[in-house]
Amino acid sequence: MPYTTDDYKRFAEVPFAEVLKYLRISVIPNATHLNGEIGGKPFNVNIEKNLYWVDDNDRGNVISFLAKVRGCKNSVAAQEIENQFFGTDGKQSQNNAEVINDFSQEIIHPKIITLKHGETIVIEAI
């Protein structure tokens, strides 16, 4: 089934912290950004904008990030995001609190950051 623009927008709203946890990619929080490495190249995530960038030619949302990591098309990555993060009713299947709790149980020395709107996320996986 082809996805609509609204589907892509909804999938792109999945927080990067959830996608990074799902992919088991370690990151280090830095104020409003997360810093990590994929394929030997450093990347940054702007938490507030929910966007990543490696350089001027390599940046985007969680869909394009997952496509880059998996080496697949954006449509395949969107399908994986839908399957992993959304229930059959089309709503996100986990809330951030559950993800944060799951995340913190897998971390030896967690780093905790609080976003401007009050949400706290734990980053830096083992």
Model confidence pLDDT, tens digit, residues 8-47: 999 999 999 999 999 999 999 888 899 999 888 899 999 9
Provide CB contacts within 8 A for 10, sequence distance 6+: 86, 90
Query: What distance in Å separates the CA atoms of residue 121 and residue 21, rounded to the nearest whole number?
Result: 11
The pLDDT confidence band at residue 63, using thresholds 50, 70 and 90, is very high
Provide the domain count of the chain. Answer: 1
How far, CA to CA in Å, does 74 sit from each of 4, 80, 104, 111? 13, 10, 30, 31
Tell whether the model's pLDDT for residue 95 goes beyond 70.
Answer: no
Q: What CATH number does residue 98 fall under?
A: 3.90.580.10
Look at 27-36, 51-60, 79-88, 116-125 and tell me which has the smallest mean pLDDT.
116-125
Nearest 5°: the CA angle 14, 9, 89 is: 70
* Domain range for 15: 5-123
pTM above 0.85, yes or no: no
Would you state the structure tokens that stand for residue 35, as one six-digit string? 């810093």
